[in-house]
Amino acid sequence: MAEVGRGSEQAFAELYELVSPRVFGLALRILRNRAMAEEAAQEALLDVWRQAPRFDAARGSALSWVLTMAHRRAVDHVRAAQSSTDRESKAAALMTPDVPFDEAAETTLIRAEGEQVRRCLTRLTELQRQSITLAYYSGLSYPQVAAELAVALPTIKARMRDGLIRLRDCLGAR
C-alpha cells in the first residue's frame, strides 16, 4: 500500500489483481445489479489509487480499508438510485390526475369559458377589444399592435392594461 501511495503503477496493478474480485463481490452483494456493481467497483478502486497516500496501517489492514471504500461507493449508488426513483415517482404523481378525465365535461367547460370571455370582451372599449384581440388571438407583440392600429405604443399598453383589468373583473378572477 505504501508503494501505491507513492504512485507506483506496478504496485497498484498488483493490488488490483489481489482485491478486485472481493471489491466486485461486495458491490454486487449490495447492488444486486452486475453493471452497477462493476461501475461501483471501478470507482472504488479509482478512489483507492487517488487516496492511497492517506492509508494508515496503524488503523487497520489494507484489505479492510479498500473494502470500506468499496462499501461506501456501493451504498452511494444505492442512494442515488433510490433518489432517482423517488424523483420519478413524484413527477409521475404530479402528472397523473386524481380525477378521471371526462372529455365531454372538459369540452363543455372550455366552451362555457370561451363564451364568457367573448361576452366580457363586448364590454370593453373598441381600442381595448381590438388591442387585446390582436395581441392574444393573433399573437402580435405590443409594437405590432400599435402599428396595426396606428396608435402610439404607450397608448396601446395603457389600453391593454385597462382592458385586462376589466376582463379580470368581468370574469370574476381575483
Rounded to 10°, the helix 62-95/34-51 angle is 130
Query: What is the H or E stretch that residue 34 is in?
Result: helix 34-51
The rounded distance, in Å, linking the Cα atoms of 137 and 75 is 55
> Which whole number is the average pLDDT over 128-151?
92
Residue with cell 402580435: 140
- Cβ-Cβ contacts under 8 Å for 99 (sequence gap 6 or more): none
**61-116: pLDDT as tens digits:** 999 999 999 999 999 999 998 988 888 888 877 776 665 667 777 888 888 888 88
CB 74 within 8 A of CB 31: yes
Q: Is the pTM of this model over 0.75?
A: no
The rounded distance, in Å, linking the Cα atoms of 57 and 22 is 20
Check whether 162 has a pLDDT greater than 90.
yes
The rounded distance, in Å, linking the Cα atoms of 27 and 76 is 11
**6-39: pLDDT as tens digits:** 999 999 999 999 999 999 999 999 999 999 999 9
- Secondary structure letter of residue 136 according to DSSP: I
